[in-house]
Amino acid sequence: NAFYSEVEGKGIMQGLASLAAGGTPARFLIIDDGWQDTSNDEVVEATEERKREAARDARDLRTPWNLAKRISLPGGDLGEFVNTLKTQMGVQQVLCWHALAGYWSGLRPSSPSFQSLSPSINRPSPMEGILEVEPQLSWDPLTLGGIGLPRGDRTLEFYHQLHSYLRSNNVDGLKVDAQAAFTMLGEGNGGTVKVTQKHIHMMEESVSRHFGSSNCINCMCHPTECLYSYKERQEEQTTSIVRASDDFWPDDPASHTTHLVNVAYNSLFLGEIAQPDWDMFQSDHPTSHIHAIARAVGGCSVYVSDKPERHNFDLLRRYRQQLLLSCCMLACFPSLLLHPLLSSLMAIC
């Protein structure tokens, strides 16, 4: 939420500096969507509103490991930037975002960067039940334009290329997003379970090789095809964290209590598979206190997406002064069959 898809080095450095100046230096950083070198396809014919929504979603990954144009540092490479974060700003862990397909719309088949992977466009086919809940998937750019995937026998090679580059530049882990999209790619790929499981297993194998255990956050991963694909044996579970809710939406006032209730309910199930993740929040947001309190007892990592110079240091300092509980906030049994937004008897335990 600090930069959305306009991630650039100067802004990251400003944000870290302003947090440190207030006595709450950041030790953990996720470089989210926006660090990759991408290009836009022409947006399909749609309403003006839909075109605006599609401006980000319709971009294809062209070269997934080029931050040089954005970091504004001598030398201009990702490794130097990460080293600066760690040596000068005190950051201990740096994670980078990517979609399970590389980027939202995957790989561009015509790109010279990916010719060794022989990518092709795969057309998503949303199931009827999903379309009843989300009819907009019928005209979503991913549905209309397809997702570029490497040839089946080159999938692991793709993840190795991406992850080895990041690790060689001192990146410590990943946030792997848009995993649910693969449940729409079953046609021609052996079915939704097979194609989803294949990509998650190969992503995990590459994560394990390059980053080790527990250094990957899974996002947009609630379909059972995703959840049941993660490694079962704990010693092999390399992606042991899953987002438990929708995003933190700072501009949607009605979303915040729903966000917290969703986490409490979803964690009943997700917590048996992996460690629930609550997403970031903004410390200067009008609802920041309820987000902060819930996370303090949520047994989750706590991280913020504050814009530079916009922080609530009183709230952030409390996290430094208080011991976070190693529990997981869940909906209590008597509340499971009640309407979470209408009942006055809701209980969280």
**Using 50, 70 and 90 to split pLDDT, how confident is the model at 301?**
confident
**Nearest CA among 57, 53, 54, 173 for reference residue 106:** 57
- Among 183-187, 196-200, 328-332, 334-338, which is the least confidently predicted range? 328-332
Regarding predicted confidence, which is higher, 69 or 315?
Answer: 315
- Decide: 56 and 5 in contact? Cβ < 8 Å: yes
pLDDT category of residue 329 using cuts at 50, 70 and 90 = low
CA of residue 241 relative to chain centroid, distance: 11
126: left (phi over 0), alpha (psi -120 to 50) or beta: beta
**Coil vs helix vs strand at 334:** helix
Determine the pLDDT at residue 327: 58
299, 325 in Cβ contact below 8 A?
yes
For the chain, give the percent of residues with pLDDT over 70: 78
Q: Average of pLDDT values for 317-337?
A: 66
Q: Please give the average per-residue pLDDT across 84-111, as a whole number.
A: 91
Question: DSSP 3-state assignment of 19?
Answer: helix
Q: Tell me the CA end-to-end span of the chain in Å, nearest whole number.
A: 29
Q: Are 256 and 290 in contact (CB under 8 A)?
A: yes
Identify the pLDDT of residue 285. Answer: 93
pLDDT at 183 (0 to 100): 93
pLDDT at 88: 93
Burial of 287 (0-12, 13-18, 19+ CB in 10 A): middle
CB atoms closer than 10 angstroms to residue 89: 18
Residues 6+ apart with CB under 8 A from 71: 8, 9, 77, 78, 80, 81
Q: What is the mean pLDDT of the chain?
A: 81
